[in-house]
C-alpha cells in the first residue's frame, strides 16, 4: 500500500487544484443552463470527482506497460484527475460535452463517444480527455466522463461484478449485463423522446 502523498508528492496539490477547477466549470455550466429560465433546470443531476489513488494508478500503468513513476502517471495516462457528470437525458450529455469542448481554458486531447459506438459490453458514455490551460492547474491532464443516470446505475453495478475474483457462470452473466445495458439505452431514448414531445408541446 502506497500513500497518495508519497507517490504524487508536491504534484498532489496541483491535481487537487485541477479537480476543483473542473468542478467549478461544471457548476458554471449548471448556472448558465438555468439562467433566464422560469422553472428549475438541472441538466447535471450529479457530479463526482476523484484523484486516482497511488495503488490504482500504479496498477493501471503496469497493465498498460508504462513505467510506474510519477512522470508516467501525469503524461502517459489522462485520468489522474477524474470527473464524472451524470445527466438525466442523453441530450444533456451532448450539450455539456459541446460546452466543455468550446472552453478556451481546456485543450481537448481526444474524445470517445460510447453512445454512438457502445463498448462490446454495452457501456455507453461520453469521455473527454483534456489538458487544463489556465490557473494553478495549468498543464494538468484530466478525464471527464458524462453519462445518464440510467447508464450510471448499470455501470456502477457492472463495475462491482467485474472486480469479483470468481464469477460463476461468467459468460451468461456478461450476456445478461449486455442485455440490461441495451434495455437501459432503449429506455434512455424513450425518455428523451417523451421530454422532446413535452417541450415541443409547450412552445
Any idea which residues carry the catalytic annotation? 143
Q: Any alpha helices (H) in 37-78, and if so which ranges?
A: 54-64, 70-75
Of 148, 135, 112, residue with least CA distance to 24: 135
d(CA 48, CA 14): 18
Strand partners, 107: 131
Q: How far is CA 131 from CA 56, 61, 77, 142, in A?
A: 21, 19, 12, 6
Q: 197: Cβ–Cβ under 8 A, 6 or more apart, which residues?
A: none
Cell of 102: 468550446
Amino acid at each position: 500500500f502506497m500513500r497518495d502523498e508519497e507517490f504524487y508528492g508536491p504534484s498532489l496539490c496541483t491535481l487537487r487544484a485541477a479537480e476543483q477547477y473542473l468542478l467549478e466549470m461544471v457548476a458554471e455550466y449548471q448556472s448558465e443552463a438555468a439562467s433566464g429560465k422560469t422553472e428549475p433546470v438541472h441538466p447535471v443531476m450529479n457530479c463526482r470527482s476523484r484523484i486516482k489513488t497511488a495503488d490504482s494508478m500504479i496498477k493501471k500503468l503496469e497493465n498498460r506497460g508504462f513505467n510506474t513513476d510519477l512522470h508516467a502517471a501525469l503524461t502517459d495516462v489522462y485520468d489522474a484527475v477524474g470527473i464524472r457528470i451524470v445527466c438525466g437525458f442523453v441530450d444533456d450529455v451532448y450539450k455539456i460535452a459541446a460546452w466543455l469542448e468550446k472552453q478556451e481554458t481546456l485543450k481537448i486531447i481526444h474524445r470517445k463517444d460510447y453512445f454512438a459506438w457502445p463498448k462490446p459490453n454495452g457501456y455507453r458514455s461520453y469521455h473527454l480527455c483534456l489538458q487544463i490551460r489556465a490557473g494553478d492547474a495549468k498543464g494538468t491532464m484530466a478525464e471527464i466522463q458524462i453519462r445518464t443516470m440510467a447508464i450510471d446505475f448499470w455501470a456502477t453495478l457492472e463495475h462491482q461484478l467485474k472486480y469479483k475474483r470468481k464469477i460463476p457462470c461468467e459468460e451468461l452473466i456478461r450476456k445478461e449485463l449486455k442485455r440490461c445495458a441495451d434495455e437501459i439505452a432503449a429506455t434512455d431514448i424513450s425518455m428523451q423522446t417523451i421530454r422532446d414531445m413535452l417541450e415541443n408541446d409547450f412552445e
